[in-house]
Amino acid sequence: MSKSKKLVYVSEDLIREAMETARSEGKSLGAFVEESLELALSAKEMGYSLKEASKLLEVVHANKILGGAFVPLEVFNHLIRAAYRFGRGKLKERWYESGVLHGKYLKEKFENPIEAFKAFLEAARWDLSEVEVREEGDIVKLRCFSTILTKEGTETLLRYVEGALHSMGYKTVKSEHIKGMIILEFKR
């Protein structure tokens, strides 16, 4: 690895802040800069930017606090199908409740909880191929699409989304769904 150095320009304010941060971390400015640049490059090589990574970290952090856990998608689909067969009403209610919990948390922690909820859905539920959220004044329009979501998964997800938005102070004004597609509209 090359050890030669190159001069790069940085804004003066930023250098001052970086020096303070590095000092508080017990690092030299050089080490702090080098580590930051190296990590940014690693993130880029993995196909994303550190900005995206920092968004994902918020999702990871929120999920750890809220009791999130990973399960294989196939297992999830099986569980939901089996549980649905034997206790549909209760299951939907539980998904609604978990939406309420997540919505309350996001409302408290984020300046724009709707945007945070979208990021939450996109990162945690990659089985959704598209999550679209539009805020138009008091109205929030939400559409989720998935080519792999089951009928049971669609219906429980719908209740989860409603739970989240209801706890943020919205009420459902339009609700449509078919397997793999959810179209919802809320009003504050």
Distance separating alpha carbons of residues 114 and 73, to the nearest angstrom: 25
Q: Are 173 and 185 in contact (CB under 8 A)?
A: yes
Least distance in angstroms from the C-beta of 152 to other proteins: 10
Look at the alpha carbons of 79, 56, 144, 187 in this order and tell me if their dihedral is positive or negative. Answer: positive
Least distance in angstroms from the C-beta of 63 to other proteins: 6
- Selected range binding other proteins among 43-51, 109-117, 135-143, 179-187, rule: CB under 8 A: 43-51
Least distance in angstroms from the C-beta of 171 to other proteins: 23
Asked if 28 interacts with other proteins (CB under 8 A), we say: no
Least distance in angstroms from the C-beta of 18 to other proteins: 6
Q: In the numeric block, which tokens belong to residue 75?
A: 């297992």
Neighbours of 5 (CB within 10 A): 7
Among 28, 65, 85, 115, which residue interacts with other proteins (rule: CB under 8 A)?
85
Residue from 162, 154, 104 nearest 125 by CA? 154
Among 14, 26, 136, 178, which residue interacts with other proteins (rule: CB under 8 A)?
14
Residues in CB range of 145: below 8 A, 6 or more apart: 128, 129, 130, 180, 181
Rounded to 5 degrees, φ, ψ at 120 are -60, -50
**Closer by beta carbon to other proteins, 86 or else 138:** 86
| Binding map of other proteins across residues 122-161, x = CB under 8 A, - = no contact | -xxxxx----------------------------------
Distance separating alpha carbons of residues 123 and 2, to the nearest angstrom: 37
Least distance in angstroms from the C-beta of 135 to other proteins: 24
- Selected range binding other proteins among 36-44, 106-114, 165-173, 177-185, rule: CB under 8 A: 36-44
